[in-house]
């Protein structure tokens, strides 16, 4: 179902706005996180915790609010989620025990919704297309909007906010056409739309295609002709999306027999898909957690240990003595290693107990060779699909995922000693590849494309693009050189890589700080923190851009963080004081 935007209606501050009692709030960006903000506001107003006239203006240029660009329902179905359908639930945790027919702001989980609307995607352990999840998210947004409209004035604007200014205790937002003034602003802009990670240039070479998405246009046969040689920067989840879009997305067919995948060409594929990246280390596939009941006591034991450490971190966050704060490598990392070791030893008692730690050291120092990468992916795929016994990589990835909520509590809001933050980030980068990779079936597809002769991994770890005097583009690795027709950037901007000249860039450069050079700094209510460590009134920032002070923001989860709840509570307290 589509939303009818009010493209011309605007609110502009009137001369007598100082005596107007209406509380005006703007939500800038209404993908999943912006929708969660809207849901919390609706709940607060329904519970009569947020009294008085309220006006909420929503700025979302994407066609489907709630879904945003990442989960656009129009994208092709070969672009899948990388976590299971049973994990997708936009309801607030407090509302999940109520029946579907109850008057919750959002009435059902993705699985319940899929059974009614898309039954072919209702397998709990399946990986649904992002487009289908986008339909669900947009439907949830409409449910929230339907509940909110009788309670407040709500305006939706399909416009991008291009400037932000703080003056006279109010926030002024500007679009290309108009300005508006607000008492409270929420920024939930996600990736700030589809854009390149940065101006990608090595020597005289610039990426021909600076961003993979939307794949329907960026990777079409017009943009990337059939039988061309394509160099792709990056070897993560976005690279997998690109490879599938250049093959399955062009009519190629996959066949799966007893867990083994094969690929039948359509004739529209590139001649060669040639990835290159900094490390060359691959994303390892996720496996179904069939040992959950057997391993639950282990996860519970080590989660408690991490949460005890997190309690210590909470007490020392305001301390000027960094020595009082936990050190990740010496205090937290051994807990994760021990959890993985115990889990592996539980299932395979014959494995030496030091193997997990040694495996990670070897992995982190691995100088990638193309045949070794394929061997690692084949082995990991067999482990993930239960064709081979579990191993160190499997145990470490599962331990990281199981202990991650406690890790979020420990690390967020500056819980670690400053000297250990860089070490944490290096480990977390590797664990992203080990723990948060694609579903096993996508690795099966990638292996099939490789076996069909379409993927060339010889330039993976040290490939460098060049342009010769005649303008020809090449990719070089040592003595190997290959001429390429297109260079595609399949990397996503980091949390600190704000859109140049955008509102986040403006905030970061004007008055605010980055936390450890990875993102905007916010407190535990999502409120932006100034250089003097005080929260700035009237503005909150949620999502990926705060990754430096809030761990694990790039998620649909509503249970991993409590910042939205605390923001709502702070808003209610603020309005109560104003009313008094």
pLDDT in tens, 277-296: 989 999 999 987 889 899 99
Mean pLDDT confidence for 255-276: 96
d(CA 231, CA 562): 41
As given in the structure block, the two tokens for residue 165 are 């200014």
pLDDT (mean) for 230-239: 96
Q: How confident is the model at residue 469 (pLDDT cuts 50, 70, 90)?
A: confident
What is the pLDDT averaged over residues 36-46? 95
pLDDT-derived band of residue 517, with 50, 70 and 90 as boundaries?
A: low
H or E stretch at 548: none
- Does residue 466 surpass a pLDDT of 70? yes
Mean pLDDT score, 415-422: 90
Over range 458-463, report the average pLDDT: 91
pLDDT for 426 equals: 94
pLDDT digits (tens, 9 = 90+) for 393-414: 999 999 999 999 999 999 998 8
> pTM for the complete prediction?
0.92
**What is the per-residue pLDDT for 312?**
84
User: Is the preceding peptide bond at 214 cis, omega within 30 degrees of 0?
Assistant: yes
Is the pLDDT confidence value at 19 over 70?
no
CA 463 to CA 482: how far, in whole Å? 10
Residue 545 to residue 497: CA distance in whole angstroms: 9
Percentage of the chain modeled with pLDDT above 70? 91
What 3-state class would DSSP assign to 537? Answer: strand
Of 66-70, 189-193, 535-539, the least confident: 189-193
Beta strand residue intervals within 109-197, DSSP E: 153-157, 163-167, 170-174, 179-182, 184-187
CATH topology of 25-75+131-194+495-525+544-579 equal to that of 205-283+439-489?
yes
Question: Cα dihedral sign for 38, 169, 545, 416?
Answer: negative
Question: Which residue's entry shows tokens 């008094």?
Answer: 580
Class of the CATH domain delimited by 25-75+131-194+495-525+544-579: alpha beta
Q: What is the mean pLDDT of the chain?
A: 89
- For 503-531, the three-class secondary structure string (H helix, E strand, C coil) is HHHHHHHHCECECCCCCECECCCCEEEEC
CA–chain centroid gap for 429, Å, is 14
| Domain spanning 205-283+439-489: CATH 3.90.1690 | no
Rounded to an integer, the average pLDDT of 313-326 is: 74
Nearest CA to 371 among 470, 457, 310? 457
Q: How confident is the model at residue 214 (pLDDT cuts 50, 70, 90)?
A: very high
Res 204: pLDDT: 60
Q: CA–CA separation, 311 vs 392, rounded Å?
A: 29
Q: What is the mean pLDDT of residues 312-318?
A: 75
Tokens coding 384: 């993930």
More confident residue, 579 or 114: 114
Give pLDDT, residue 111.
97
567 contacts 523 by C-beta, under 8 angstroms: no
- 129 forms beta bridges with 80
Residues 489-516 pLDDT 10s: 999 887 777 777 788 888 877 655 554 5
- The pLDDT score that the predictor gives to residue 510 is 63
Residues 6+ apart with CB under 8 A from 410: 306, 307, 309, 310, 313, 326, 332, 416
The span from the CA of 248 to the CA of 352, in Å, is: 42
pLDDT > 90 fraction of the chain, expressed in percent and rounded: 70
Residue 243 CA to residue 245 CA, distance in Å, equals 5
What is residue 322's predicted lDDT score, i.e. its pLDDT? 67
- Cα angle 187, 437, 355 (rounded to 5 degrees) comes to 125
The CA-atom distances, in angstroms, between 548 and each of 192, 411, 500 are 17, 10, 19
pLDDT > 90? residue 15: no
- Token digits for 258? 């007893």
Task: Write down the pLDDT at residue 17.
Answer: 40
Nearest to 302 by CA among 267, 264, 274, 332: 332
Supply the Cα-derived Rg of the chain in whole angstroms: 25
Q: Which of 181, 183, 146, 141 is nearest to 164 (CA)?
A: 181
SS3 260: strand
> Looking at residue 330, what DSSP letter applies?
I
Interatomic CA distance for residues 365 and 356, integer angstroms? 14
Look-up of token digits 């959950």:
292
Sequential DSSP letters for 17-63 = GGG---EEEEEE--SHHHHHHHHHHHHHHHTT-S-S-EEEEEE--SS
Residues 6+ apart with CB under 8 A from 427: 328, 329, 333
DSSP letter at 456 equals: -
DSSP assignment string, 54-114: EEEEEE--SSSTTTTTTT-TTS-TTSB-SS-GGG---S-GGGTTS-TTS--SS---HHHHH
pLDDT at 351: 87
Residue 576 pLDDT > 80, yes or no? no
What pLDDT does 278 receive?
87
Please tell me the distance from the alpha carbon of residue 429 to that of residue 358, in angstroms, as a whole number.
Answer: 17
CA distance 24 to 13: 10
Tell me if residue 423 falls in helix, strand or coil. Answer: helix
The answer on pLDDT for 82 being more than 60 is yes
Residue of 95, 75, 182 lying closest to 140 (CA atoms): 95
Classify strands 527-529 and 535-541 as parallel, antiparallel or unpaired: antiparallel
Mean pLDDT, residues 366-385 taken together: 94
| CA 229 to centroid of chain Cα atoms | 30
Any alpha helices (H) in 154-286, and if so which ranges? 215-218, 237-245
> Residue 9's pLDDT is what?
34
Q: Where are the alpha helices (DSSP H) in 118-271?
A: 130-148, 215-218, 237-245
Assess whether pLDDT exceeds 60 at residue 420: yes
Task: Give the closest residue to 279 by CA, choosing from 243, 239, 242, 241.
Answer: 239
Q: Which of 214-223, 413-422, 505-514 has the highest mean pLDDT?
A: 214-223
pLDDT at res. 113: 97
Nearest one of 279, 448, 469, 485 to 364, comparing CA atoms:
279
Give the mean model confidence (pLDDT) for residues 533-550. Answer: 88
Query: Domain segments of the chain: what residues?
Result: 25-75+131-194+495-525+544-579, 205-283+439-489, 292-373+385-435
């Amino acid at each position: 179902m589509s939303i009818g935007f009010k493209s011309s209606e605007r609110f502009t501050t009137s001369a007598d706005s100082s005596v107007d009692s209406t509380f005006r709030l703007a939500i800038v960006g209404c993908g999943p996180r912006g929708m969660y903000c809207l849901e919390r506001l609706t709940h607060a107003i329904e519970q009569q915790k947020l009294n008085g006239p309220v006006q909420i203006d929503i700025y979302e240029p994407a066609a489907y609010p709630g879904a945003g660009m990442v989960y656009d329902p129009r994208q092709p179905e070969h672009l899948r989620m990388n976590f299971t359908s049973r994990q997708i639930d936009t309801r607030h945790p407090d509302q999940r025990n109520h029946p579907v027919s109850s008057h919750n702001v959002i009435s059902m989980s993705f699985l319940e919704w899929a059974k009614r609307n898309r039954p072919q995607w209702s397998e709990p352990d399946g990986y649904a297309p992002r487009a289908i999840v986008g339909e669900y998210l947009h439907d949830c947004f409409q449910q929230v909007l339907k509940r909110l409209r009788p309670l407040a004035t709500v305006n939706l604007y399909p416009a991008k906010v291009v400037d932000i200014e703080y003056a006279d205790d109010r926030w002024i937002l500007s679009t290309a056409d108009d300005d508006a003034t607000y008492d409270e602003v929420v920024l939930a802009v996600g990736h700030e739309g589809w854009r390149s990670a940065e101006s990608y240039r090595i020597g005289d070479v610039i990426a021909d295609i600076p961003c993979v998405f939307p794949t329907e246009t960026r990777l079409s046969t017009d943009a990337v002709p059939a039988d061309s040689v394509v160099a792709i920067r990056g070897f993560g989840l976005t690279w997998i999306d690109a490879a599938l879009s250049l093959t399955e997305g062009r009519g190629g067919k996959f066949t799966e027999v007893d867990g083994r995948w094969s690929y039948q060409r359509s004739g529209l594929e590139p001649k060669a898909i040639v990835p290159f990246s900094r490390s060359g280390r691959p994303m390892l596939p996720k496996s179904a957690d069939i040992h959950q009941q057997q391993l639950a006591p282990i996860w519970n034991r080590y989660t408690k240990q991490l949460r005890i450490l997190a309690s210590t971190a909470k007490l020392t966050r305001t301390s000027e003595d960094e020595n009082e704060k936990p050190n990740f490598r010496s205090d937290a990392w051994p807990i994760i290693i021990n959890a993985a070791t115990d889990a592996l030893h539980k299932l395979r008692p014959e494995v030496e107990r030091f193997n997990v730690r040694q495996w990670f050291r070897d992995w982190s120092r691995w100088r990638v060779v193309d045949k070794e990468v394929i061997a690692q992916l084949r082995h990991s795929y067999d482990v993930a699909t239960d064709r081979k016994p579990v191993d160190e990589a499997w145990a470490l990835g599962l331990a990281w995922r199981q202990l991650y909520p406690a890790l979020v509590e420990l690390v967020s809001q500056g819980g670690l000693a400053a000297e250990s933050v860089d070490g944490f980030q290096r480990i977390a980068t590797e664990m992203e590849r080990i723990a948060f990779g694609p579903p096993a079936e996508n690795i099966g597809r990638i292996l099939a494309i490789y076996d069909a002769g379409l993927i060339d991994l010889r330039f993976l770890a040290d490939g460098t693009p060049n342009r010769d005097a005649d303008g020809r583009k090449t990719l070089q690795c040592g003595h190997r050189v290959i001429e390429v027709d297109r260079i595609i950037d399949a990397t996503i901007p980091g949390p600190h890589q704000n859109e140049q000249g955008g509102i986040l860039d403006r905030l970061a450069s004007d008055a605010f700080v980055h936390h450890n050079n990875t993102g905007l700094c916010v407190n535990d209510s999502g409120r932006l923190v100034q250089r003097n460590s005080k929260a700035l009134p009237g503005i909150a920032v949620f999502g990926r851009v705060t990754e430096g002070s809030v761990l694990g923001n790039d998620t649909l989860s509503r249970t991993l963080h409590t910042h939205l709840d605390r923001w709502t509570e702070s808003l209610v307290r603020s309005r109560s004081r104003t009313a008094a």
